[in-house]
């Protein structure tokens, strides 16, 4: 999705070529991933000559919200609080990130 959000639209080859060099995926793997994303409603495709051109149907923010909602419902008993407690408890938040979270919580309270 990141590649298509960046380039706008493209063929399987375009997506494969735009992946970071440390991600050596076969053409068929990229095609399978694009088809799965299309089946889930994240992408669509049109035909241009002999090639299929894929383009995103959802933006980054919508995809993030959907992914977080799925994560919360599947692993955190539909509790955003449990998700936040888990994030805070693993000790991986940097001080600046923690400060931004505190500020956001204060903003939401008012």
Over residues 52-69, the pLDDT tens digits come to 999 999 999 999 999 999
75/47 same-domain check:
no
Separation of alpha carbons 98 and 7, rounded Å? 33
49/64 same-domain check:
no
The answer to whether the beta carbons of residues 52 and 11 sit under 8 Å apart is yes
Angle at 17 between CA 12 and CA 22, to 5 degrees: 120
pTM exceeds cut of 0.85:
no
> Which residue stretches of the chain are H helix?
2-7, 12-18, 27-39, 60-75, 80-89, 95-109
Q: How many CB atoms lie within 10 A of CB 12?
A: 21
Full residue range of the structural domain in which residue 86 is found? 60-109
Question: In this predicted structure, what is the pLDDT of residue 50?
Answer: 93
51/85 same-domain check:
no
32/47 same-domain check:
yes
97/52 same-domain check:
no
CATH number at residue 39: 1.10.10.10
């Amino acid at each position: 999705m990141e590649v298509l959000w960046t380039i706008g639209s493209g063929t399987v080859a375009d997506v494969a070529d735009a992946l970071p060099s440390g991600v050596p995926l076969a053409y068929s793997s990229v095609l399978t991933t694009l088809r799965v994303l299309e089946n889930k409603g994240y992408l669509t495709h049109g035909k241009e000559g002999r090639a299929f051109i894929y383009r995103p149907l959802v933006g980054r923010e919508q995809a993030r919200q959907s992914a977080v909602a799925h994560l919360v419902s599947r692993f955190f008993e539909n509790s955003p609080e449990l998700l936040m407690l888990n994030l805070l408890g693993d000790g991986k938040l940097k001080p600046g990130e923690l400060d931004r979270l505190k500020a956001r919580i204060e903003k939401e309270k008012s």
